[in-house]
Amino acid sequence: MKTSCDLTGRRALITGASRGIGRAVAELLADHGARVAVHYGADEQAAAHVLQGLSGEGHAMLTADLGDPVAAGDLAGRAAKELGGLDVVVNNAGIFVTHDIASLDHENWRKFWDRTIAVNLNGPAHLLHGAIPLLDAAGGGHIINVTSRGAYRGEPEAPAYGASKAGLNSLSQSLAVALAPRNIKVVGLAPGWVLTDMTRDYLEGPGGKAIRDQSPMKRTATADEIAHVVLMVVSGQADALSGAIIDINCASHLR
């Protein structure tokens, strides 16, 4: 899916942009003229590499622990200060930690649960609380929340992840209605497995075939495919999608 659009003058914050889906989104939006704030959590070197490779000028690089409510709440304002405003927010950053409710004591269960919810759900919520006035000041904009098919099919080995993504779906739809009068469009993207530099070894290893066989296409999505859906959403050519959760999983899970 390729969308022809000119994003010159648009300013976009992409969380988790040092690798994988976030990197692909940052590169594609920059290729179409946007100024991009590359957010990273820990890997400064990877984020700097992404920043240096972006097309155009005027980009920025920011770090923040999205599990910290204050840091998450301040991130949009910091991005807007660097970019001169904000038009697009892509909440892509997230963590996936396995934790078995039947075998963990409560202290460790709570640790895994609280950290996952803090980063994957509370972080985007706090970030968006800071971003909405900035999008409003720009006359509207687009919010894209990257969720997961796990919100629907479940994540038995990582229940906090599934719960966080289900919550992010609901947040996306709630905000789509609440923010429509402000000309702010909100869309959720729910990928399944995605082939990236992070998952390549696993998907090309012994367990990869079983994952690909979940799809009648016998494949997984790519980061570039996710990025092109983001481009379509922010292009302004498909604003009727606001409120939608778009499945991108090669027909591996239907609802």
Residues annotated as catalytic are 161
Q: Where are the beta strands (DSSP E) in the chain?
A: 11-14, 35-40, 60-63, 88-91, 141-146, 184-191, 194-195, 221-222, 245-248
Q: 218: helix, coil or strand?
A: coil
Q: 72-81: b or e for each residue (b if 16 or more CB lie within 10 Å)? A: bbbbbebbbe
DSSP SS3 for 90? strand
- 223-244 burial, b at 16+ Cβ within 10 Å, e below that, comes to bbbbbbbbbbbbbeeeeebbbb
CB distance 22 to 47 below 8 Å = no
H or E element: which one contains 42?
none
Measured CA distances, 70 to 16, 134, 144, 167, 210 (Å): 17, 17, 21, 20, 41
**Phi, psi of 244, rounded to the nearest 5 degrees:** -85, 150
Question: Helices 159-179 and 123-137, interaxial angle, to 10°?
Answer: 20
